[in-house]
Each structure stands twice: as C-alpha cells, then as structure tokens.
C-alpha cells in the first residue's frame, strides 16, 4: 500500500518535471551532473561554459562510498544543502514527515526545505485521518437521568399590587 503512495507521489513529481525541467532532477540527470562536475573539476585548463556553471553552483560531497550533489558553499563550515533526485524524494520527505510527528507543511518545511511537501501530505493516510473526520449522521439524544434536574425553576408571579417578582421554588 505504501508503494502505491510512493508511485503516485513520484508520478505527480514527474508531471511537474515535464512542465518545468529546471527544478526537479531525475536520477539519470543527477548522476550525469555529478560526472560532469568531476570532469570539469579534473580538467586542467579546458573548461566549457557549462563546466564553469556547474562548478559555480554545485559541489560533490563524499559520504562513504556515496557521492551526493550539494549546493556550493561559501565556507566549509556551512551546513550542506542536498539535491535529491525525483526517485529518492519520497523517502527523504517521508523521513522528515514522520520525524515531525505528521506535523504538517510548516513543520516539515523547517525540517526539509522542499516545495513538494503538500503533495506528500496529501498521500499520507495518517494526515488524512486527522484532516477528514467522519461526520455524525444524527445526534443521539439521551435523557438526563438525575434527581437534581428541574429541581429548581424560576417562575414569574404577579403580586396583587401589579409588580413582577421572580421566586425560586
């Protein structure tokens, strides 16, 4: 069942990718970008415009055996901003979503700065249960069964002089 949500989420992202190819990165493009950055960084004196562009915008972060694409940092002390391919986006957003306790868009945006959190949230079953509460079809009326119910009342009485007074009985 979770795979169907993941497939729906990925299909939605691929639809958005077809509209604008600059924002989202499929896995093949992600790995070719890493290879192009490595080639541009390794090239001694011959770099084309695309190589200069990639080196000015991106870095490669080595995490064990895995190479990850990150945003170019001014200093090494800054926290890295990771780029994620479309196929891995579901897992990253799901991890952030459960880490915030199904917290919603704003809390997840603080955890992970992504535009597509709303799409993920729309496929989360736990959040759908929270948001859409079943309406009661009819209110069941139960009688109040206490001795004190209706033991006091206010009854207006008219005196012989014509003035009103309220007496409790």
pTM for the full predicted model:
0.57
> What pLDDT was estimated at residue 114?
47
167 contacts 155 by C-beta, under 8 angstroms? yes
- Mean pLDDT, the chain, rounded, equals 75
The pLDDT of residue 137 is above 70? no
Q: What is the pLDDT of residues 68-84, one digit of tens each?
A: 888 898 888 887 777 88
Write out the two tokens for 89: 């986006």
- Assign 57 a pLDDT band (cuts: 50, 70, 90): very high
Buried b (16+ CB within 10 A) or exposed e, 36-67: bbeebeeeeeeeeeebeebbeebbeeeeeeee
24 contacts 13 by C-beta, under 8 angstroms? yes
Q: What is the pLDDT of residues 31-46, one digit of tens each?
A: 999 999 998 888 666 6
152: nearest Cα among 131, 169, 127: 169
> What pLDDT was estimated at residue 34?
92
The pLDDT of residue 66 is above 70? yes
> What pLDDT was estimated at residue 113?
56
């Amino acid at each position: 069942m979770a795979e169907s949500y993941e497939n729906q989420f990925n299909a939605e992202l691929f639809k958005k990718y077809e509209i604008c190819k600059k924002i989202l990165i499929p896995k093949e493009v992600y790995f070719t970008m890493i290879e192009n950055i490595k080639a541009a960084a390794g090239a001694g004196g011959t770099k084309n415009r695309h190589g200069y562009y990639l080196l000015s915008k991106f870095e490669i972060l080595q995490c064990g055996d895995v190479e990850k694409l990150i945003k170019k940092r001014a200093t090494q002390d800054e926290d890295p901003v990771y780029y994620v391919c479309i196929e891995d986006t579901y897992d990253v957003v799901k991890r952030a979503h459960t880490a915030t306790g199904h917290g919603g868009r704003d809390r997840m945006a603080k955890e992970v700065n992504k535009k597509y959190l709303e799409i993920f949230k729309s496929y989360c079953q736990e959040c759908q249960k929270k948001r859409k509460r079943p309406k009661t079809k009819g209110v069941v009326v139960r009688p109040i069964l206490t001795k004190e119910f209706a033991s006091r009342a206010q009854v207006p009485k008219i005196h012989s002089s014509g003035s009103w007074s309220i007496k409790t009985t």
